Amino acid sequence: MKSKAHSSHSIISPARAAAFDILIRCERESSYASELLHSKTYNQLSLIDHSLTTELVMGVLRWRSVLDSQIAESSSQPIAKLDLEVLIALRIAAYQIRWLDRIPPRAAINESVELVKRARKRSAAPFVNAVLRKLAAKSACRPLSESSLTALSAEKVAASSSHPRWLVERWVQQYGLDLVRRICEYDQSVPVTAIRIRHPDAEETIKAEGIELAPGSLLSSARRVLRGDITKSTAFRAGLCVIQDEASQLVAALVGTGTNILDCCAAPGGKTAAIADRNSGAAIAALELHPHRARLLRKLLNTGPSPPGASIRNIQVIAADACNLPFAQAFDRILADVPCSGTGTLARNPEIKWRLMPEDLADLQRRQVAILCSAMAQVSERGRLIYSTCSLEREENEDVVEISLAKNQSFHVIDCRVRLGQLQENGELICKDIPSLTRGPYLRTLPGIQPCDGFFATILEKI
C-alpha cells in the first residue's frame, strides 16, 4: 500500500499512513480496530509494516488519555479544540516518542507533520511540529508499573492506566482496588493469542512450521501462541484450529451436549463452531440480527474448512431478532451470548472504554433482558439455557439473570461449579482452581486474574 504524501521529498511510511486512517475510522465510524487491522485492505501491508501499524493503533487506543494529557502539557491550544486529524497525528507521534525506543523522535515528528498535510490540514503543520518537539524534549515518564500502583486510589489507577475514572470507580466497588489494578494492567498489555485445537494432528503441523505453542491455562483443547503468525499456518487455513479466547471456549463448553441446539446471538461464530464440534449429530440453529453478518456466519459455519473426518454440520443460519425468536419448536440447549458493553475485552478492544458511557448500561440491560426472556420461552422441559456476556458490569450479568428469573419462575440456576467439575473430571478443564473461575453460582473470569477475557455465564435449567 502506498501512502499519499503531498511533497515529493517527504514520504509517509505505509505503517503510519495505515495507522492514521484506521484511528480516524475508529473515531468517525465507531469501527473496531481489530476488524480493520485484519481486513483485506491492511492485510496487503508487509509483515513489518502490519506489525508497526498494529503497535501504533492499539498503543494509541490503549493509552489515549495519558497521551492526551502529555500533548496538552505541550500544547498552546486546548485538546478539545483541535481538529480530529491533528489530534490523531499528535497521538501517533507521542506514542512513538514515549513508548517505542527503537524509533527516533525526529522520524516520528516529521511523519506526523506530513500526516497532517496529507489530511489537508497543512496550516496546522507548524503547530504539530512545535508541540511534538516540546513533548520530545521533556523527560519520559511511563505510567503503570506494578510497584507504583499497589496502594493507589481508584482515581490514580484510572489516570495511570489510561482508563475512564467512572469505569474504574465502579469496578472498585464491585471487585476491590487490588483486583481492579490487575484488571487495568492486563487491559494495557498485548493479550496472548489463544487457539482451540480441532484435530489431533493440528499441534504437530503448527510446530513443524516454526510456530511456538504453549498449553492453555484453562482448557486441554486450548493452546497459547508464543511466537509466529498462526493465521499463516497450514493448520489454521485447513480448519484444524481456530483463534478463540480461552474464556470464550469455556462458555461454549458449558453448553454441553444436546440434540436440538440454538445459539441465539451467534455472530461471529466462534462459540457456535465450538458447540457444533462437540455436538456432531445435533440439529443446530444459529441466529444473527444483521443479514450481512448472517451471510458471513453461514459461510464460516457451513462452507468454511472442517477437520478431516468431521461429520457434515447441520447448522441452520437465520437472520432474525433474538428478542422475537422465529421458532415453533423447543430446544434442549440454548446459548444466549448477548450483545454487551464488552468491558471484559478491553485488552483486545481498547476503543470500547472511550465510547462507553454510564447511561449505555441501562439500554444494554433492557435488550439483554428481552433476549433472555425470549430464549427462556424456547427451552424444552429439563432443558438448559446458558446466558453469557464478555462484560464486567453487574447490570449486564447478575441483574439481568435476577430480573429475568422474576419474570419467568419456571427456571432455576444450576451452580456453574457442578458443570466445571464435570469438565475437570473428563479432562477438558485443566484449571485446578475452580473457585477462582466462579462468583457465587456463576462463571466469572477476570482479565489479569485469569490470562483471558472477562466473561460471565450462568446455567439456567427449566424445571
Give me the pLDDT at residue 307, please: 53
Give me the pLDDT at residue 140, please: 61
Give me the pLDDT at residue 299, please: 81
Euclidean distance between CA atoms 248 and 345, whole angstroms: 11
Euclidean distance between CA atoms 266 and 280, whole angstroms: 17
CA 246 to chain centre: 12
Task: Please tell me the total number of residues recorded for the chain in this structure.
Answer: 463
Euclidean distance between CA atoms 297 and 291, whole angstroms: 10
The CATH code of domain 14-137 reads: 1.10.940.10
Respond yes or no on whether the N-terminal peptide bond of residue 268 is cis (omega within 30° of 0). Answer: yes
**CB neighbours (10 Å) of residue 126?**
11
Q: Virtual CA dihedral for 357, 361, 367, 373, nearest 10 degrees?
A: 170
pLDDT by residue (tens digit) across 53-94? 999 999 999 999 999 999 999 999 999 999 999 999 999 999
Residue of higher predicted confidence among 290 and 402: 402
**CB neighbours (10 Å) of residue 309?**
6
Query: 357 falls in which pLDDT band (50, 70, 90)?
Result: very high
Give me the pLDDT at residue 347, please: 97
Mean pLDDT of 245-260: 96
The C-alpha cell at 392 is: 464486567
- For residue 268, give the amino acid letter: P
Angle at 405 between CA 399 and CA 406, to 5 degrees: 90
Which fold is adopted by the domain 253-462? Rossmann fold (3.40.50)
List, as one string, the DSSP characters of 238-260. Answer: TTSEEE--HHHHHHHHHH---SE
Kindly list the strands in the beta sheet with 241-243, ordered across the sheet, starting from the edge strand earlier in the chain: 212-215, 222-227, 193-197, 241-243
Give me the pLDDT at residue 6, please: 40
CA distances in angstroms from 36 to 24, 220, 337, listed in the order given:
11, 31, 23
pLDDT by residue (tens digit) across 211-243? 999 999 999 999 999 999 998 899 998 889 999
Which fold is adopted by the domain 193-241? Alpha-Beta Plaits (3.30.70)
Query: Helix H segments across 75-195?
Result: 84-99, 105-118, 125-137, 146-149, 154-160, 165-175, 177-187
3-class DSSP state of 104: coil
Give me the pLDDT at residue 141, please: 56
Strand (E) or helix (H) holding 19: helix 14-29
CA 88 to chain centre: 22
Mean pLDDT of 411-420: 97
Mean pLDDT of 302-320: 66
Give me the pLDDT at residue 147, please: 46
The conformation of residue 219, written as its DSSP 8-state character, comes to B
Q: Determine what percent of the chain is predicted with pLDDT higher than 70.
A: 92
Identify whether the C-beta of residue 222 lies closer than 8 Å to the C-beta of residue 249.
yes
**CB neighbours (10 Å) of residue 335?**
28
Euclidean distance between CA atoms 245 and 264, whole angstroms: 20
Euclidean distance between CA atoms 337 and 190, whole angstroms: 25
Answer yes or no: is pLDDT of 314 > 80.
Answer: no
User: Taking Cα atoms as reference points, which of 194, 189, 191 lies closest to residue 224?
Assistant: 194
- Going from N- to C-terminal start, the domains of the chain cover 14-137, 156-187, 193-241, 253-462
Q: Report the chain's C-alpha Rg in angstroms.
A: 23
The pTM of the full predicted model, rounded to 2 decimals, is: 0.92
Answer yes or no: is pLDDT of 435 > 90.
Answer: yes
Give me the pLDDT at residue 313, please: 62
Task: State the average pLDDT for the chain.
Answer: 91
pLDDT by residue (tens digit) across 185-214? 999 999 999 999 998 889 999 999 999 999
Identify whether the C-beta of residue 400 lies closer than 8 Å to the C-beta of residue 372.
yes
Rounded (10°) angle between helices 64-74 and 47-62: 80
Burial class (CB within 10 angstroms; exposed 0-12, middle 13-18, buried 19+) of 149: buried
Q: Answer whether 14-137 and 193-241 agree in fold.
A: no
